[in-house]
Every structure is written in structure tokens, then in C-alpha cells.
């Protein structure tokens, strides 16, 4: 069984997993890091890769038409890892595919990266409205994106209200879990649902086993392997789970499978560097950190700053962690 350990591993920057704290609530640990990182992880989990020539990034059967503009933006942003070139494409996708909640989810992700919480909240409202409209035609995806909308709102509240917002946030987190359970009752093998549900379960359980028991995390990891898609996210999610469980061997195996699908993705290079660091393979860790920093012009500014900080901590030398201009 994969047991997520409640401790920090050598790398402080964990975009798919919470920094841990035990000081807020008696039965559930919620911290600003947890809320914002879980919300960010969910947004990432929905918008990290798109297979070439596919309009639905998750399904080979029962595919949904998410729109050409959304597909193009996804390809640039997450297959190529080119955040900056994707920004105008995302704007076009939200306009051209305005009834597609996935387009607005990508827009919320961009606002999250830019720390523009008001815009993120507005786009969260758009996610909710388009998800509600899907009730008439696609109940499964309606419930999936109602969950996403509540996570966006939870992230906004913690960023703007801090600890005082916890009483408002707890019901939102419970709504997320309820919406995903409802979606599961419709199609328990849906790839989009299993990707999202698996990542959320793993993330929340790493902080609060009172909400997601360990055996449910193991079930979620099995779902990620068997039912989720695309392969880049499937194996990326598995790698992150093993990374946070401090099991570098299976984490490396999974991240290599993800890289086989998206070999140029700098986020995967970054994850592989983290895993090598946990393993104690400092030369390889440094190499993959440097690969990530070499792609700096196409990545969010704050993310690159964080990666460089980690790289300096890893190597002890700023000159070994140059940022490409």
C-alpha cells in the first residue's frame, strides 16, 4: 500500500502536493498551502496535456467535443509546455468555446499562476455556470466541473480571507467530494473523473486521513493507473503519489512513462529532478533542474524563481542554476 508520509521531502516547492501543518482544525488540517495547492493541483490535473489531433484529452470512446480553440491552447500549453505562447490562445478558447467548462478551467489556472485572485474567481463563476448548463446534456461532466468550481472558490477565499475563511471553505471541500461521488455513480470508469478524483484523494489524504482513509488512497492510485487518461497525466499523477510517499524507484518508473508521452514538458523534468533528489542522486537531480531552468522563457515567472531557489539549495552554487533569458 502507498502510505503518504506527513513530512516534507528535500524539495520545498510542491505544486501538486500540500506543505503540511497540524495546527488549525481538530478533525481536519486545513492550511492556506493546502487549499491553494490542492486547488492548483486540480486545475493542473484537468489541463496538463492533450493528445495530438484529439478534441477530448481524456477519452478515446464517448469523446466530448471541447472545441478547436481549447484543443490548440492545450497543445501549446501542456504538450509543448509553452505557457507564454498559450496565453492568447487561452483567451480565444474562452471566447470561442464559451460553453466549455474546461476552457474556463484553463483560464482560471492562468489566473492562479499570475496570482490574480479576482480574475480566477470570475473564471470560477464561469466554470460553475457552464457546468450547471451541462446538467441537461452531460451530467457526468457537470458534476466534475461543479467540483472544480468549488475548489476555485475555496482557493479564492483562503487567499483573500486567510484563516477566518475556514468556516466557509469546509463546506466547499465537502461539496467537492460529494460532486465527485455523484459523478462516480454515473460512470465509475470515466477517465476524466478518475484522473481528477484520484489526484484530489491523494492530495487531501496526505494532510487529513480523517477525510480520505489510506485504503481509499490506494483505490484512487489504482484508478489512476487503470482508468485515467491521457497517459501523461496518468503516469504523472502516479509519480507524484510515489514521490510524496518517498518511494523514488516506482516514482521514477512512472515519470519515465509520462516523459515517453511528453518528452519536452519542463514540469516533468522538474518532477524527475525532485525524485532524483529524494533518491540521493544529486548529479541527475541537478541535470533535470537545469533542464527545467533552460525553458524559463516559456514558464511562469514565479515558478521559475522557486525552481531556481531549489536548485541552489540542491547544488549549493548559484552559478550552477542559471536561468535562460
**Distance, CA of 121 to chain centre:** 17
Structure confidence at residue 38 as a pLDDT band (50, 70, 90): low
Q: Which of 97 and 220 is assigned the larger pLDDT?
A: 97
What does the buried/exposed string (b/e) look like for 41-56 if buried means 16 or more CB atoms within 10 Å of the residue's CB? bbbbbbbbbbbeebbb
Q: In angstroms, what CA-CA distances link 23 with 6, 114, 163, 166, 172?
A: 13, 28, 11, 13, 20
pTM of the predicted protein model: 0.79
The helix-helix angle for 139-161 and 166-186 (nearest 10°) equals 170
Asked whether 231 and 258 are in contact (CB, 8 A), the reply is yes
Q: Which of 16 and 296 is assigned the larger pLDDT?
A: 296
**Distance in angstroms (rounded) separating the CA atoms of residues 213 and 206:** 10
pLDDT of residue 58: 80
Q: Which of 244 and 51 is assigned the larger pLDDT?
A: 244
Asked if the model's pLDDT at residue 19 lies above 60, the reply is no
Vertex 113: Cα angle to 112 and 116 (nearest 5)? 50
Mean pLDDT computed over every residue of the chain: 82
Q: In angstroms, what CA-CA distances link 309 with 226, 252, 296, 306?
A: 36, 23, 13, 5
The DSSP 8-state label assigned to residue 162 in this structure reads G
Asked if the model's pLDDT at residue 50 lies above 50, the reply is no
**Distance, CA of 164 to chain centre:** 26
Q: Which of 294 and 207 is assigned the larger pLDDT?
A: 294
**Distance in angstroms (rounded) separating the CA atoms of residues 290 and 272:** 11
Asked if the model's pLDDT at residue 42 lies above 60, the reply is no
C-alpha cell at 206: 496526505
1.10.3470, 1.25.40, 2.40.50, 1.20.1050: which CATH number matches 32-320? Answer: 1.25.40
Question: Which of 30-39, 101-110, 270-279 is least confident?
Answer: 30-39
Question: How large is the average pLDDT for residues 133-137?
Answer: 96
**Distance in angstroms (rounded) separating the CA atoms of residues 12 and 20:** 11
**Distance in angstroms (rounded) separating the CA atoms of residues 70 and 90:** 7
**Distance in angstroms (rounded) separating the CA atoms of residues 269 and 298:** 14
Percent of the residues in the chain that have a pLDDT greater than 90, as a whole number: 51
Asked if the model's pLDDT at residue 208 lies above 60, the reply is no
126's enclosing H/E stretch is: helix 117-133
pLDDT of residue 215: 54
C-alpha cell at 309: 531557489
The DSSP 8-state label assigned to residue 297 in this structure reads G
Structure confidence at residue 90 as a pLDDT band (50, 70, 90): very high
Asked if the model's pLDDT at residue 147 lies above 50, the reply is yes
The DSSP 8-state label assigned to residue 316 in this structure reads S
Question: Which of 40-44, 104-108, 203-207, 303-307 is least confident?
Answer: 40-44
Amino acid at each position: 500500500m502507498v502510505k503518504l508520509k506527513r513530512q516534507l521531502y528535500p524539495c520545498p516547492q510542491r505544486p501538486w502536493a500540500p506543505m503540511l501543518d497540524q495546527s488549525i482544525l481538530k478533525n481536519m488540517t486545513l492550511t492556506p498551502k493546502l487549499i491553494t495547492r490542492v486547488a492548483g493541483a486540480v486545475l493542473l490535473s484537468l489541463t496538463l496535456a492533450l493528445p495530438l489531433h484529439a478534441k477530448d484529452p481524456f477519452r478515446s470512446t464517448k469523446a466530448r467535443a471541447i472545441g478547436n480553440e481549447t484543443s490548440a491552447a492545450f497543445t501549446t500549453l501542456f504538450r509543448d509546455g509553452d505557457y507564454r505562447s498559450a496565453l492568447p490562445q487561452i483567451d480565444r478558447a474562452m471566447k470561442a468555446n464559451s460553453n466549455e467548462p474546461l476552457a474556463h478551467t484553463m483560464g482560471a489556472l492562468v489566473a492562479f499562476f499570475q496570482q490574480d485572485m479576482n480574475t480566477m474567481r470570475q473564471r470560477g463563476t464561469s466554470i460553475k455556470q457552464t457546468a450547471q448548463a451541462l446538467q441537461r446534456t452531460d451530467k457526468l461532466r457537470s458534476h466534475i466541473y461543479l467540483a472544480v468550481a468549488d475548489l476555485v472558490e475555496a482557493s479564492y477565499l483562503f487567499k483573500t480571507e486567510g484563516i477566518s475563511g475556514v468556516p466557509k471553505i469546509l463546506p466547499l471541500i465537502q461539496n467537492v467530494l460529494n460532486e465527485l461521488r455523484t459523478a462516480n455513480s454515473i460512470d465509475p470508469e470515466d477517465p476524466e473523473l478518475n484522473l481528477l478524483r484520484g489526484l484530489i484523494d491523494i492530495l487531501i489524504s496526505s494532510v487529513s486521513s480523517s477525510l480520505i482513509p489510506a485504503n481509499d488512497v490506494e483505490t484512487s492510485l489504482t484508478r489512476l493507473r487503470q482508468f485515467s487518461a491521457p497517459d501523461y497525466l496518468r503516469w504523472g499523477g502516479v509519480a507524484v503519489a510515489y514521490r510524496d510517499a518517498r518511494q523514488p524507484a516506482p516514482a521514477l518508473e512512472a515519470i519515465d512513462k509520462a516523459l515517453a508521452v511528453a518528452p519536452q514538458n519542463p514540469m516533468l523534468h522538474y518532477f524527475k529532478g525532485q525524485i532524483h533528489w529524494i533518491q540521493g542522486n544529486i548529479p541527475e537531480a541537478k541535470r533535470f533542474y537545469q533542464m527545467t531552468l533552460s525553458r524559463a522563457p516559456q514558464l511562469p515567472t514565479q515558478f521559475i524563481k522557486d525552481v531556481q531557489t531549489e536548485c541552489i539549495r540542491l547544488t549549493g552554487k548559484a552559478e550552477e542554476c542559471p536561468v535562460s533569458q
